[in-house]
């Protein structure tokens, strides 16, 4: 697959998602349901259906492989050590994320010498939280990792180097998060690491588990956002703050180093019928 085609497929994915979401909301209006995105059911049902359908459409049209009805997961093929290092790396990258989210605040602090923080409301609707839990734990890790790692990287490798394939896959993954610009760099960084995990282990389930971990941390921070932000910004970017960033760098490096050498550098990236 060419780089241009990978980018076009990503934009096509976004377009199909938006069209399906609009279509679902249109059907609701057709059945005399008042349309309001403040309604969590309407918002999340349209979003989930758009998400699932857009990926399945691209899989059906462009990923011309025979998807087995029954997948035999052989747990003895998986290494506990890799799972442990995935946890270590995920904690590290989560700590590093803070730096990217704080870029504007860092500039304000070092320009003015202080942070002008306004009290924000972090209350979250319980229905919203339930939909988010189902989406980010069960749906997005499976579909996104299958598409951006299993499908895109495998196809890109046929015409491009490993580094190029990982970079393009990571870039495409970041593009679909353009709705939240502050998340572009963290998404790109995650895409790079997840792609490296897939290539080095040859098993997509490791990448899926990696994203489940990251999304789990997101939910934990979301639930405790008020207390966490009050604490992290009370540090005023002192040595404790930068120690956490440094610790994140170390954990990420050690975790990824161990993961990428666990299979002695071997990789078995094939079609969908790989032994997952």
pLDDT value, residue 263: 67
* pLDDT score recorded for residue 107: 84
pLDDT at 274 over 50: no
pLDDT (average), residues 237-245: 93
DSSP at 118? P
**pLDDT of res. 198:** 95
pLDDT at 69: 47
**pLDDT recorded at residue 117:** 67
Rounded to an integer, the average pLDDT of 69-73 is 52
Which of the pair, 74 or 110, is modelled with greater confidence?
Answer: 110
Mean pLDDT of 151-168: 95
As a whole number, the mean pLDDT across the chain is 86
Whether the model clears a pTM of 0.95, i.e. scores above it, the answer is no
Q: How confident is the model over 14-69, as pLDDT tens digits?
A: 999 999 988 988 887 776 667 666 788 888 999 999 999 999 999 999 987 655 44
Q: Per-residue pLDDT for 105 more than 50?
A: yes
Lowest mean per-residue pLDDT among 34-48, 122-136, 190-204, 246-260: 34-48
- Provide the pLDDT confidence category of residue 88 given band limits of 50, 70 and 90: very high
pLDDT surpassing 60 at residue 73: no
Q: What is the pLDDT of residue 30?
A: 72
- Percentage of the chain modeled with pLDDT above 90: 57
User: What's the per-residue H, E or C state across 200-239?
Assistant: HHCCHHHHHHHHHHHHHHHHHHHHCHHHHHHHHHHCCCCH
| Mean pLDDT score, 125-142 | 92
pLDDT in tens, 181-223: 888 999 999 999 999 999 999 999 999 999 999 999 999 998 8
271 pLDDT band, cuts 50/70/90, is very low
Q: Which class for 219: exposed (0-12), middle (13-18), buried (19 or more C-beta within 10 A)?
A: middle
Whose structure tokens read 């969590």? 40
Grade residue 235 by pLDDT with cuts at 50, 70 and 90.
Answer: confident
pLDDT score recorded for residue 119: 59
Give the mean model confidence (pLDDT) for residues 241-260.
95
Nearby residues of 186 by Cβ (< 8 Å), 6 or more positions away: 97, 100, 101
- Give the Cα separation of 11 and 148 in Å (integer): 13
Per-residue confidence at 168, pLDDT binned at 50, 70, 90? very high
pLDDT score recorded for residue 123: 64
Listed in sequence order, the residues at least 6 apart from 17 whose beta carbon sits closer than 8 Å to its beta carbon are 50, 51, 53, 54
Calculated CA dihedral for residues 10, 64, 200, 133, nearest 10 degrees? 60
CA distance 218 to 54: 24
* Tokens (6 digits) for 230: 């009050």
């Amino acid at each position: 697959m060419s780089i241009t085609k990978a980018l076009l497929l990503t934009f096509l994915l976004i377009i199909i998602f938006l069209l399906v979401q609009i279509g679902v909301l249109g059907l609701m209006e057709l059945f005399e349901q008042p349309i309001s995105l403040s309604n969590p059911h309407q918002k999340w049902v349209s979003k989930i259906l758009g998400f699932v359908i857009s990926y399945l459409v691209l899989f059906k049209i462009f990923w011309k492989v025979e998807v087995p009805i029954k997948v035999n997961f052989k747990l003895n093929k998986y290494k506990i050590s890799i799972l442990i290092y995935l946890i270590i790396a995920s904690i590290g990258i989560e700590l590093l994320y803070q730096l990217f989210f704080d870029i504007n605040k860092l500039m304000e602090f070092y320009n003015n010498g202080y942070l002008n923080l306004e009290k924000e409301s972090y209350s979250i609707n319980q229905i919203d939280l339930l939909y988010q839990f189902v989406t980010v734990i069960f749906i997005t890790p499976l579909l996104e990792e299958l598409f951006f790692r299993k499908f895109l990287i495998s196809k890109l490798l046929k015409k491009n180097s490993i580094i190029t394939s990982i970079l393009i896959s990571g870039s495409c993954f970041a593009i679909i998060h353009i709705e939240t610009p502050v998340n572009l760099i963290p998404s790109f960084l995650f895409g790079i690491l997840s792609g490296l995990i897939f290539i080095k282990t040859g098993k997509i389930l490791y990448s899926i588990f990696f994203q489940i971990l990251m999304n789990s941390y997101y939910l934990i921070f979301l639930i405790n956002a008020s207390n966490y932000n009050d604490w992290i910004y009370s540090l005023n970017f002192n040595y404790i703050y930068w120690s956490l960033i440094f610790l994140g760098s170390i954990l990420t490096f050690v975790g990824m180093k161990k993961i990428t050498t666990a299979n002695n550098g071997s990789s078995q990236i094939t079609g969908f019928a790989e032994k997952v």
